[in-house]
Amino acid sequence: MESEKKNYCFKYLKIVMAALLAVALFYSGIKDYVKVGKTDTAVVELYGNYPTVNQAKQIWENYQSSEEITDFCFVWNGGVQVVTNPEDFRQTNARVTGIVGMAALYDRQAALLEENDETGCVIDKDTALELFGSENCAGSQLTVGEQIYEVRGVVSWSQHTMLIRPPQKNQVCTQVLIRGKKGQNLEGAASDFLVGNGLSGILVDDSWLEVILSWFPVTFLVMLIITVSRWLYEMERGTWENGIQRNGEKKTDFRKCSCFVIRILLWGIGLFFGVRLLSYIPQSWLPDKWSDFSFWPAKLRKTMEAFRWYIMFPKTMAQTERLMSGIGCIIKCGAAALLIGAV
């Protein structure tokens, strides 16, 4: 009898530990899911006649003086370059990116770089630590080639990145980021901007990430409800005496009713949160008519093509952060679902 009790305690201690670990993973995964959020910015990879920095500035000035309000940002990709602290000659490699227009579209933390600030830069915290030994380095100087820049701010990007306003007017911009008008989808916003300015480009869409991610928290919730329902069913069929399950003993009506009510509440709560999570699926993924059976094959083909472009082209900082958070959500919620299903 004593050994049975010990085995019982050890068994259910493992179950409790696994359940707690699963809940912790799920909580962390949900935090990553929230970070991904919804994007309202169209990322377009340009081709053909690339606009120079000077032309991009002219387009920006034209929009600022017109009544039409459109937020956009041209991007110049400077590649990976050597960044130097001229005081003690510390060096590190960083991806240098130039922007023309609204910096906050590239990343909300990039707003530290003002519109006409051609001598300032924004760097990530790892680059700051390697160059200056501290994240508190605003006002310090660094060099890229022969250009001298002053640090305006240090941000929490996960890559070695330096953001500037391109100093050379003949440099070409290879990307443009466009924020659509209220109620306008990303494809429409990109098309209107490109046609209106005589540019050619491909929309690099990552809305597929929002569709995929929604299913992982839902899967965990379903596995959790199934597991708890199974526990309640076992409790309903057996009584617990001195830590040992006794099967076949008659249950009281009260216990049966309690287990039944709890199961109903669990499924109701799970259904509520599941619908809430799935409601974050973009509207573009839903057909106008449910009888339109050709919608899904066409949408999947289009999504696979967009995914190939997404993998091929360079990503903005916001896209990279969304991707990393999305991967974290998939791994954590997936592991949590497997754990809770195994207990």
Q: What is the 3-state secondary structure (H, E, C) of 216-262?
A: HHHHHHHHHHHHHHHHHHHHHHEEEECCEEEECCCCCHHHHHHHHHH
169 and 184 housed in the same domain: yes
pLDDT of residue 300: 80
Which has more confidence, 277 or 179? 179
pLDDT in tens, 47-58: 988 999 999 999
Considering only 82-86, 91-95, 272-276, which range has the smallest mean pLDDT? 272-276
Among candidate residues 98, 72, 94, 75, the one with its CA nearest the CA of residue 83: 94
54 and 29 housed in the same domain: no
Domain end (from 203, 230, 245): 203
pLDDT in tens, 104-163: 888 888 888 888 888 999 999 999 999 999 999 989 999 998 899 999 999 988 889 999
Q: Alpha-carbon distance 190 to 181, whole Å?
A: 11
48 and 143 housed in the same domain: yes
Query: Residue 50: what residue type?
Result: Y
195 and 46 housed in the same domain: yes
190 and 246 housed in the same domain: no
46 and 34 housed in the same domain: no
65 and 194 housed in the same domain: yes
User: What are the contacts of 89-94 at 24+ separation with CB within 8 A?
Assistant: 90/130, 90/131, 90/132, 91/131, 92/127, 92/130, 92/131, 92/160, 93/160, 94/123, 94/124, 94/127, 94/160, 94/161, 94/162
187 and 266 housed in the same domain: no
Q: Residue 279's pLDDT band (boundaries 50, 70, 90)?
A: low
Element containing residue 58 per DSSP (H, E):
helix 53-65
Total structural domains within the chain: 2
Is the pLDDT at 245 greater than 60? The verdict is: no
pLDDT of residue 8: 61
Considering only 46-55, 138-147, 197-206, 252-261, which range has the smallest mean pLDDT? 252-261
320 and 189 housed in the same domain: no
Which has more confidence, 249 or 35? 35
175 and 194 housed in the same domain: yes
Q: Where are the alpha helices (DSSP H) in 139-207?
A: 186-196
- Torsion sign (Cα): 255, 257, 263, 265: negative
Is the pLDDT at 258 greater than 90? The verdict is: no
pLDDT of residue 62: 85
Is the pLDDT at 242 greater than 60? The verdict is: no
Is the pLDDT at 1 greater than 60? The verdict is: no
Write out the residue range of the structural domain in which residue 305 sits: 2-38+208-342
pLDDT in tens, 13-38: 777 788 889 989 999 999 998 888 77
pLDDT of residue 69: 64
pLDDT in tens, 71-92: 899 999 988 999 999 988 899 9
299-324: average pLDDT: 83
Share of the chain above pLDDT 90, in %: 27
pLDDT of residue 290: 67
58 and 121 housed in the same domain: yes
Is the pLDDT at 244 greater than 90? The verdict is: no
269 and 319 housed in the same domain: yes
- Averaged confidence pLDDT in the chain: 82
Domain end (from 179, 203, 227): 203
**For the whole model, what pTM was predicted?**
0.73
Which has more confidence, 239 or 188? 188
Domain end (from 203, 229, 248): 203
